Amino acid sequence: MNIKKIILKSLSLLFTIIVIQSCNTKDFLNTPPPTMADAAYFANDDAALNALAGVYDPLGRYNYSQLTEWAIGDACSDDAEKGGGGDGDYAEIFALTTFSANAENPLVYERYRDFYIGINRANKLIEGVTGNEYVSNVVGKRVIAEAKFLRAFYLFNLVKTFGGVSIVDHILAPSEYTNPRNTIEECYAAIEKDLKEAIIDLPKKSSLSAQEIGRATWGSAKALLTKTYIFEEKWQDAYDAATEVVDSGEFDLDTDYGHLFTIDADNGVEAVFDIQFKDFQMPGWLDENEGAHLEVIMRSRDDRNGGWGFDQPTQDLYDEFEATDPRRDSTIITNLEVLWAGTGDEETFYTLQDPVHNPDSYTGYYNQKRALPASQRGNGEDQAGMNLHVIRFADVLLWQAEAAAHIGGDWQTPVNRVRARVGLGTSTISDPLEAVYHERRVELAMEGHRYWDLMRTGRGNLITGFTDNKRYLLIPQIEINLNPNLTQNPY
């Protein structure tokens, strides 16, 4: 099954027949009863696979993977400024980055809603396929495993954003529409359970056919379980899970760090889990959510480059890199830097503030990890085909190192393996955790990880405007209005 292609073919059918939420749905709990019996819909393997494509679909939604992941992960941290055309340009993001967002912020609502849409679709698939004699055992076990991985993924993102939320692990009865929030511990337990069950029936990446590349694998689930343990501070469990991934031989570091951020690296040797994007050459807005808009969002706003100028790296991030670390040049575009030299796509980038050409440059830098040559920027509104790396092998190595540092184990080997890939010697930072934190920041910079790393390690004080009561975003007010048993976060 090619997820990118099947999603386009199946979504209209899914929205109508399976009766799961559309973009116009005001709340996932308001879903009406199905209009077609599950037995009639899940009548064969193809129907189950089409439904699975719908469970993957929220991953590529504009608000989640193309807006709030960098808006929160980068721009709310010390790694980046919002950028764009002033404070009023995406004022909703400005509110997030200044920790002044209210419960009616539409981006926060859409993030909350889209994850629950994914969860509800996973539940519909799991219940429709479980025990279904019309779906083969091989297909049924695998699609259920993928749905459980995705359900865990969506719940994990809800928890890291909002704290404890309502666990929805089945199609709700009307009496359950006003369930209260579960605790964070209960949510993590549900995530662990789904991932442990998914791991049993998910294939290894090395066994996938060309048409299956991009679907969740054993490594995807084991790595997300590792990340869950990291957030829970279950250090021994995290170390053991990370070590299984590292020792599996399923993944490796790309020999060329800069190559990671090209279309050629999609689903490559370092990709543990990617969000799949593809330019289908559609002229309409956003390519039906199948093409990435990140390139134009983050390209220099200088009128000679024509981007929107969001997510601008800070001087503080630039200074975090060692002078000889080549990852800085692969992460940050500096003024008058020439990319793709000697090709038809050769382009000079202008990053400094210029009252004529670039009045809205705030830091003097732009994000190189989403930069693509003009010939690959996509059709229509600059939709591009480069995937978004959600978990890559370097991330797993650094989780292994962080867990080892907490249990008194060998943190140096995974840290120095990451450093050796870019030609750097062993870390000179003596404190194990500080060494890991530094390496995570420079290795994963501008990939949406920094804010979450600061939050989970209690280092929010490094962010201007942050206070401890800002740890979790506000539950959207529309949800509070619909369910009086939902308690609100302090903010």
Residues contacting residue 93 through CB under 8 Å, at least 6 positions apart: 67, 71, 75, 82, 84, 107, 310
Q: Give the per-residue pLDDT at 140.
A: 97
pTM score > 0.85 for this model? yes
Type and span of the H or E element at 10: helix 3-13
Yes or no: say if 469 and 455 are a contact pair by the CB < 8 Å rule.
no
List of residues 6+ apart from 74 with CB closer than 8 A: 80, 311, 367, 446, 447, 448, 450, 451
Beta strands (DSSP E) in 346-480 are 347-349, 366-367, 388-392
Contact 443, 449 (CB under 8 A): no
Beta strands in 173-286 (DSSP E): 271-275
Which residue is it, tokens 């779906």?
135
Rounded distance between C-alpha atoms, residue 403 and residue 468, angstroms: 24
**Token digits of residue 99:** 């920790």
Q: What is the rounded distance in angstroms from the CA atom of residue 335 to the CA atom of residue 308?
A: 16
Q: What is the mean pLDDT of each run of 10 residues along the chain (491 residues)?
A: 52 38 37 56 95 96 94 98 97 98 97 98 97 96 98 98 98 96 98 98 98 97 98 98 98 98 97 91 62 92 96 98 98 98 98 96 97 86 86 98 98 98 97 98 98 98 97 98 96 91
- Domains, in order of start, for the chain: 1-200+467-491 (1.25.40.890), 202-258+392-457 (1.25.40.390), 285-386 (no CATH)
CA atoms within 13 A on the CB side of 215: 30
Please count the other Cβ atoms lying within 10 Å of the Cβ belonging to residue 466.
19
In the chain, the amino acid numbered 396 is: V
Burial class (CB in 10 A: 0-12, 13-18, 19+), 347: middle
d(CA 263, CA 268): 10
Would you tell me how many other CB atoms lie within 10 Å of the CB of residue 13? Answer: 15
Grouping H, G, I as helix, E, B as strand and the rest as coil, residue 151 is: helix
Burial of 139 (0-12, 13-18, 19+ CB in 10 A): middle
Q: What is the pLDDT of residue 254?
A: 98
Q: Give the separation between CA 418 and CA 181, rounded to whole angstroms.
A: 39
- Confidence (pLDDT) at 3: 57
Contact present, 128 and 20 (Cβ < 8 Å): no
CB atoms within 10 A of CB 240: 14
pLDDT score of 143: 98
How high is the pLDDT of residue 44? 96
